Chain A
């Protein structure tokens, strides 16, 4: 049993994704409980993997007992298991939140939800849960696999699910956003596929550990370089690295809020995890030269992204758009952690993946609660929201603290490591930039918090709002908000193994 945990964690949601729509033909109400149960199982399996991975450094599992490099290998290192726990936990919370969000019932006083009541017709609900399970399985597979083609397959599966999830309301704006997203992401995927086939053509292998050796000794160094750049570009589109981010604001703000939470919290991070993975596990032997110019390019792109994302977020008047631009900024932080090519900075970047993932998912879910309860999407309409929706507003405020990086939140720990890392690698200027970014984050986050808590509602607004979101929605946001605080305080349990793992990765493991 214990040696099969990794594959069970991935296959369970994959199978359930097929089962949920079938079962729903007869039992409409079973979709959500099934999804929740399956995701809990995934979470438990991923968590059980942690001690195993910590004991042995990494876990290698051969699918169907075919030995690598011929068979497919799952290779779960600490980064992988870290991401698996994060993915299954956030997916579970999003699923719980979705129950009332996509199937609102009438409140006690007879008032229904404003938004999504019509768009999310009943027959779409099983499909929604099925896609949720599928995308979870794809992400779990993506971070766990040790085979580069397998990685690509999961990557595409994830991408296709996310187009569908963005477009699921079926109205004009989400569909347009999904198409825009596709127009960027499909060519990017093709680039990645081209890169993998180039790599295969010169090395004859697809197993990453195997490739690392072969690519290092290959005579076709130019092909290797080209394949690397293509792969990075392919992943960078997904990771919305500046200037390849233009699909992100629309897709993240027009999608249903739980989907936005998934996209911003997890899916964009997969691009960065992909970049880290291929850079160090496949092309590791080519560093620090001759490929290190790529990381420098990413570093400067990240620096621009931080400023650009922050300025754009400050300029927004639409709540979800603001949160989406904030994601671009935070992806800048994470990319910076990678681009500095320093262990400490990389630890900061990866910690930020988690800290930002949790906090941003929370912000989008809060936005979803507010929009579905009140119909207000503009920031200026949020004045006085605290009086009607106290729990949601408190969750929003706590998550904001993490986004800004106020101690002791997870965002603070990430920034601490990023700045230390930039001092380490001799770029104090970038460290100052990270902190300047957090001042700007304070501007856009605290503006919303200030409106919610300290201003009275303007005119008639909020008069007709019936009150707090249902317990499952408010609870989901609060759990994420508390987690973003707890992950800052509990960082000492996560950081040492993470630092070890990053050290091994940077050394070409």
Chain B
């Protein structure tokens, strides 16, 4: 990109989490405390360096640097534009909170866990700051593999089975994406840029080929973005993984797929061409099916994390639906929902982890009365649940409002029906959890006695949860604060709809 400001910061942001790895190798085994400080320092430093780019990005600047050419004309090239920065900021923030939370949550084998957590953060930031599909794919594949040890961390048979299932979905998906990239490379004349409008246009090749390339991308990224019918790994992987890892999975890793699709739509094809080729129909239809089906299946789950996982399946498709609508508000809402959902779902998974640690319960039906035992946690949980339903004064309301208004802008009210149905269904599966926690009595007297031991968990686990819940409200009220989703999403949408 010509107006790219040469900057080392993106590279530093990618390398910083690996401080954690150096810490693992250098610090002796018995100095656990020091190791933990290093883990937090690594992710905190990453967050700060990403945050330091904010003023420039808000001014509409683009930062970047070309690292090394790899395949002749292609190079590993980092660029921070508004969309990439927005995703990068969300994941650096969630990564920091998840790392802090993990200090309290992870009880065994923490070297492996924190090592791969750091790698995952690092590769995800690489994804967010990629200049071209080639760079994106490199980080994406590495991130896919680095997430595996997090999923199977608990070491139970169920966790291992979930991990294997994850790989069974993710590795073929990687090959499919690679094939799409190679077709893109071949028919796009070697231009794989995903920050400026690429060379893939009807001048270069036939419409059929363009459609095939798009659908290959969509199928490949659709596995990570949990598009029905490719979502099979999601409901297994989330309950199996430790809570902070689930928070990351739902909050940002699923979004890596959706982010890839977004990049393809906005920057490879461009919204106009995306519409002209009628590609939006595929995305909108699959996203709608996913939204409804995800919510319906969430209803039937008794395992809390499984229910949350199915909810994520539906929620990630909100993003895609908004972008597919190709209206200003739809785009804005879709993009904002990326961060909004990361805040809400991150908090919900962290709450589920606290519930597990404090009460040992994973099933909703057994959670009677826990509201009086861990009140702060359950209040956070309730706030985020309400936000997921789209209650006003929360972030969930903002994105749903924008999505609905986006559907009206292009005169397709059928998608409002989808949104409303989904909101109704989320009320149907979130409200019972709140009801059970606060108003139902525990099943046994022993547990009744336990209720008097009102105690919250360690600060490391409680504070990240509280911060997220606070942000869910804060970002829902003070929407226009610079650095909050709207400020960045409007830059992105402003570029598309000048």
B30 CB to closest chain A CB, in angstroms?
19
Q: In the complex, which residues 405-430 of chain A have their Cβ closer than 8 Å to any Cβ of chain B?
A: 406-408, 413, 415-417, 419-420, 423-424, 428
How far, in angstroms, from A419 to B71 measured CA to CA in the complex? Answer: 13
Shortest beta-carbon distance from A235 to chain B in Å: 29
> How many A residues touch B, CB cutoff 8 Å?
31
Which of chain B's residues 171-194 have a Cβ closer than 8 Å to chain A?
A: 171-172, 174-176, 178-179, 182-183, 185-186
Chain B residue nearest in CB terms to A422: B182
A435 touches B178 (CB 8 A): yes
**Looking at B75, B76, B171, which has the most chain A CB atoms within 10 Å of its CB?**
B171
Does B397 make an interface contact (CB < 8 A)?
no
Contact status A442-B171, CB under 8 Å: yes
Closest to A419 in B: B182
Q: Which of A45-53, A62-70, A318-326, A488-496 contacts B (4 or more CB under 8 A)?
A: A488-496
Partner-binding segment picked from B137-145, B309-317, B436-444: B137-145
The answer to whether B142 and A435 touch across the interface, beta carbons within 8 angstroms, is no
Q: Are B175 and A420 in contact (CB under 8 A)?
A: no
Q: Which of B71, B145, B152, B167: most chain A Cβ within 10 A?
A: B71
Give the chain B neighbours of A450 by CB distance below 8 A: 164
Contact B141 A406 (CB under 8 A): yes
CB-defined contacts of A479 to chain B, threshold 8 Å: none
Q: How far is the CA of A417 from the CA of B178 in the complex (A)?
A: 12
Q: Is A431 touching B70 in the complex (CB atoms < 8 A)?
A: no
Q: Closest Cβ of chain B: how far from A280's Cβ, in Å? A: 22
Instruction: Check: A207 CB closer than 8 A to any chain B CB.
Output: no
Given the known inter-chain contacts A420-B186, A424-B186, A439-B171, please indicate yes or no for A489 contacting B68, CB distance below 8 A.
yes
A454 near B: Cβ within 8 Å? yes
Residue from A435, A436, A442, A499 in contact with B72 in the complex, judged by beta carbons closer than 8 Å: A499
**B138: nearest residue on chain A (CB-CB)?**
A407
Q: How far is the CA of A293 from the CA of B138 in the complex (A)?
A: 37
**B residues contacting the other copy or chain, number (CB 8 A):** 29
| B185 and A420 contacting across the interface, CB-CB below 8 Å | yes
The reply to whether A488 and B70 contact each other, CB–CB distance below 8 Å, is yes
- CA distance in complex: A428, B180 (Å): 11
A435 touches B179 (CB 8 A): yes
> Is the Cβ of A435 less than 8 Å from the Cβ of B71?
no
Q: Check A492 against B186 for contact (C-beta < 8 Å).
A: no
Q: Is B160 an interface residue (CB 8 A)?
A: yes
Which residue of the partner chain A has the closest CB to B152?
A: A454
Docked-complex contact A436 and B175, CB < 8 angstroms:
yes
Q: In the complex, which residues 242-264 of chain A have their Cβ closer than 8 Å to any Cβ of chain B? A: none
Question: Which residues of chain B come closer than 8 Å to A495, judged between CB atoms?
Answer: 71-72
Known pairs A491-B70, A495-B71; A420 contacts B182 (CB<8 A): yes
Q: A290 vs B100: C-alpha distance in the bound complex, in angstroms?
A: 69
CB-CB under 8 A for A408 and B179, given A439-B171, A442-B171, A454-B160:
no
Say yes or no for B360: interface residue by CB 8 A criterion.
no
* Distance (whole angstroms) from the CB of A402 to the closest CB of chain B: 13
Question: Is the pair B149, A454 in contact by a Cβ cutoff of 8 Å?
Answer: yes
Tell me whether B498 is interfacial, beta carbon within 8 Å: no
Across the interface, which residues of B come within 8 angstroms of A446, CB to CB? 167, 171
Contact yes or no, A492 B70, CB < 8 A:
yes
Chain A residues near B172 (CB, 8 Å)? Answer: 439
B69 within 8 A of A: yes
Instruction: Tell me if A438 counts as interface (CB < 8 A to partner B).
Output: yes
Q: Which residues of A contact B141 (CB under 8 A)?
A: 406-407
Residue A18 CB within 8 A of the other chain: no
> Looking at chain A's contact residues, is the secondary structure mostly helix, strand, loop, or mixed?
helix
When distances are taken between beta carbons in the complex, the residues of chain A under 8 Å from B174 are: 406
The answer to whether the Cβ of A432 comes within 8 Å of any Cβ in the partner chain is yes
Given contacts A416-B182, A442-B171, contact A491 B145 (CB under 8 A): no
B72 touches A423 (CB 8 A): no
Query: Is there contact, CB below 8 Å, between B145 and A435?
Result: no
For the complex, give the distance between the alpha carbons of A495 and B73 in Å.
11
**Which residues does chain A contribute within 8 Å of B138, judged by CB atoms?**
407-408
Q: Are B72 and A492 in contact (CB under 8 A)?
A: yes
Interface string of B175-215 (1 = CB under 8 A from A): 11011001101100000000000000000000000000000
Classify the interface of chain B: helix, strand, loop or mixed: helix
Kindly state the separation between the CA atoms of A21 and B149 in the bound complex, as whole angstroms: 50
Per-residue interface assignment for chain A, residues 444 to 467, with 1 indicating a CB less than 8 Å from any chain B CB and 0 otherwise? 001000100111000000000000
- Choose among B76, B171, B183 the residue that contacts A423 (Cβ–Cβ < 8 A): B183
A465 to B189, CA, bound (A): 55
Residues from chain B with Cβ under 8 Å of A416 in the complex: 71, 182
Once bound together, how far apart are the Cα atoms of A432 and B160, in whole Å? 30
Measured between beta carbons, the chain A residues less than 8 angstroms from B178 are 415, 419, 435
Partner of A492, one of B69, B145, B163: B69
CA gap between A413 and B76 in the complex, in Å:
13
Tell which of A413, A423, A435, A489 touches B186, judged by Cβ atoms closer than 8 Å: A423
Say yes or no: B175 contacts A438, CB within 8 Å. Answer: yes
A491 CB to closest chain B CB (Å) equals 6
CB of B459 to closest CB in A, whole Å: 32
Which of B69, B137, B183 sits near A407, CB closer than 8 Å? B137
Distance between B10 CB and nearest chain A CB, rounded to angstroms: 17
How long is the Cα–Cα vector from A454 to B72 in the complex, in angstroms?
Answer: 37
Partner of A419, one of B152, B167, B179: B179
Contact A492 B182 (CB under 8 A): no
Pair B70/A489 contact, Cβ less than 8 Å:
yes
Question: How far does the Cβ of B456 sit from chain A's closest Cβ, in whole Å?
Answer: 34
Across-interface contacts of A491 in B (CB, < 8 A): 70-71
Whether A431 and B137, one on each chain, are in contact in the complex, defined by CB atoms closer than 8 angstroms, is no
CB-nearest residue of chain A relative to B216? A432
| Nearest CB in chain B: distance from A383 CB, A | 12
Distance between A99 CB and nearest chain B CB, rounded to angstroms: 28
Nearest-CB residue, chain B, relative to A407: B138
Per-residue A-contact encoding for B259-291, CB less than 8 Å = 1, 0 else: 000000000000000000000000000000000
- How far apart are the CA atoms of A495 and B293 in the complex, in Å? 48
- Mask for B125-168, Cβ within 8 A of A = 1, else 0? 00000000000011001100100010010000000100110010
A491 to B186, CA, bound (A): 19
Cα A489 to Cα B171 with chains together (Å) = 21
Q: A408-B138, A431-B179, A446-B167 are in contact. Are A492 and B149 (CB under 8 A)?
A: no
B305 → A minimal CB distance (Å): 21
Cβ-closest chain B residue relative to A447: B164
A491 CA to B73 CA in the complex, in Å? 11
For B145, give the chain A residue with the smallest CB separation. Answer: A406
Closest residue of B by beta carbon distance from A424: B186
Beta-carbon contact of A492 and B185 below 8 Å: no
A407 touches B68 (CB 8 A): no
Contact B145 A408 (CB under 8 A): no
| Minimum C-beta distance from A300 to chain B (A) | 20
Q: Across the two chains, which residue of chain A brings its CB closest to B164? A: A450
Contact with A along B293-315 (1 / 0, CB 8 A): 00000000000000000000000
Q: Give bound CA distance, A468 to B68, whole Å.
A: 35
For the complex formed, measure the closest distance between the CB of A380 and the CB atoms of chain B, giving whole angstroms.
15
Give the residues in chain B near A439, CB-CB below 8 Å: 171-172, 175
Q: Which B residues between 58 and 107 are near A, CB-CB below 8 angstroms?
A: 68-72, 75-76
The residues in A between 12 and 58 inclusive whose CB is less than 8 angstroms from any CB of B are none
A489 to B68, CA, bound (A): 8
Nearest residue, chain A, Cβ from B167:
A446
User: Among A424, A436, A492, which residue has the most Cβ atoms of chain B within 10 A?
Assistant: A492
Beta-carbon nearest neighbor of A423 in chain B: B186
Which chain B positions have C-beta within 8 A of A406?
Answer: 141-142, 145, 174
| Most A Cβ at <10 Å: residue of B70, B72, B163, B176 | B70
Listed A/B pairs (5) with beta-carbon separation below 8 Å:
A406-B141, A419-B178, A424-B186, A435-B179, A453-B149
**B residues adjacent to A (C-beta < 8 A):** 68-72, 75-76, 137-138, 141-142, 145, 149, 152, 160, 163-164, 167, 171-172, 174-176, 178-179, 182-183, 185-186
Instruction: List 10 tightest A-B contacts by C-beta distance, closest first.
Output: A407-B138, A492-B69, A435-B175, A423-B186, A442-B171, A419-B182, A439-B175, A439-B172, A435-B179, A408-B138
Given contacts A408-B76, A439-B171, A496-B72, 8 further A-B contacts (CB under 8 A): A406-B145, A407-B142, A435-B176, A438-B175, A442-B171, A489-B68, A492-B75, A499-B72
